[in-house]
Structure 1
Amino acid sequence: MLQTSASARIEPAELARAQQVAASISRSFEAKVVGQSRLRESLLVGLLTGGHILLESVPGLAKTTAAQTVAEAVSAEFRRIQCTPDLLPSDIVGTQIYDAAKGTFITQLGPVHANIVLLDEINRSSAKTQSAMLEAMQERQTSIGGQDYRLPSPFLVLATQNPIEQEGTYQLPEAQMDRFMLKDVLDYPSPAEEAEIIRRIDAGVYTLEQAPAAAASLDSVAEVQEIVRRIYIDPAIVNYIVGLVFVTRNAHQYIDQRLAGFIEFGASPRASIAFSQAARAVALLNGRDHVIPEDVKALAHRVLRHRLILNFDAVAEQVPVESVIDAVVAAVQTP
């Protein structure tokens, strides 16, 4: 919702307090995770907006450590679900178990009933299980035995995909991928960062039996979420966001014909919503109570890379979707 009245104005003290909470979480992240600054920002954006994140990378790039570290930083309940082909929907959302002693059924909630849930290698689970998880993400509740159970708040799902293995995997349908606010692709660490990882392992940073003190509380996260919703986004920025998404659907009129020919389908309105919500969080993380065009541009790859559907020609020529996104951004005038 756009800020339209003086009552929605964010006071400097509120903004400072929200920044302090975000900075505390960032410091906790950096204390354990080496590098991965973009991943840190993506996780904070998801946490502060309630959006879910899809992560793609080869194994060993600290996705689990990052998710667990953010959960510890805000005293959140964390659950990791290792997806496999035989994983059932009830293994995620929960089921009813018959208690022979009492002669009644007892509801056992599944691991999705946590604040931060890591779905490791989501593309290894069957389509039925993927749908059950994505339904929980969308509805923020599960249904077991005809009764609805609300998921906790805040609720953040981090789903990971391994791009180097295709055997025994079930590719996420495009319509379901659209439900993730952001898709981040993680890179290998630099040599200096990899050396620092080894030093931290030798120092026992990752084997401490006692979790570090929380940097923030779930109540403070809820307060910051409310402040993020009040970050001002000018109508010109809204038009800019809508223009970017519009060009993805009408690329032949605006970008190089070769690149435009690689687009099978453009982004849905969910892309515009994701841009506006995530840009507010990025603005707050950068110490502002208003969104600027650079906030939107910084999110372009993460918002659009899983929403722009490229055709077989693009796959055959190994055209990265980011190249098409860059062309779309260059085609729309910055306000």
Structure 2
Amino acid sequence: MRALLVVNPAATTTSARTRDVLIHALASEMKLEAVTTEYRGHARDLGRRAADSEDIDLIVALGGDGTVNEVVNGLLHNGPAPDRLPRLAVVPGGSTNVFARALGLPNDPVEATSVILDALSERRERTVGLGLAAGAPGTEDEGVPARWFTFCAGLGFDAGVVGRVEQQRERGKTSTHALYVRQALRQFLEEPNRRHGTITLERPGREPIHELAFSIICNTAPWTYLGNRPVYASPSASFDTALDVLGLRKLSAAAVARYATQLLMSTPERGPHGRHAVSFHDLTDFTLHSKVPLPFQMDGDHLGVRTSVRFTGVRRALRVIV
């Protein structure tokens, strides 16, 4: 087997020595080419190269969710071919690693590598669904290219938090859960649309849902992690179905306190609920429109602002080694 290993040297939880150990372990079981990413988007370019190659059987991503997202977008630059779905293995190296952990992989990169090698030996893999987001037709965002996401996307509040965290990291701050909490508080205090939602959810053949203050789109559960604690925004979301949506109509102090508590106490059986919360399961096609530009994120990567985004849930898009 020939494999391409994409290594993010800035991965927050792996040292250079650990990465060398992992590379040697993988190379002992396959013909491995390791490439270290050098710029934003490099992992996507490498994924595209792997997808277009007849010689590469597997691509391995060593990094966080951002690295995985780039690799997946490269692998699927021409869309999923039903007769030849690309194969991916993920070695977690980021601060959260939601995608890898949702697949059941250990959060420790050495342990995860061991699981991957065992899975390759035993030919264990699964097919997962993914989400696809693009500018909605007939809107000012129509020309925005389509992009895949592996576990979540968000329009509004949570994307604003992600953007603030990225700004802090660019200033040298370390990505920690405390940093996210601080930036979430600042985003809430400065949120101009928290009392009157600007988002409309449209589904084919259904009445639109108006005045959502923010929305979270999930491709799996949990939505994220706080340390080792899983957080479920849409407990029914799954890699085997299409997309789930959680929306909130109000972001008053009382509502935020209530739903934040529900998120912290969420379980695989129960997520946020109440008269200001709306949730939908297994949607294959829907669009979010906002009256004003709102921050947008996918897989924890801030992508600027959007006014309209069309989402598609693709049930069989990728094969992963687990």
TM-score of the alignment, normalized to the shorter chain, above 0.5: no
- State the TM-score, normalized to the length of structure 2: 0.26
The structure whose Rg is larger is: 1
Larger proportion of strand = 2
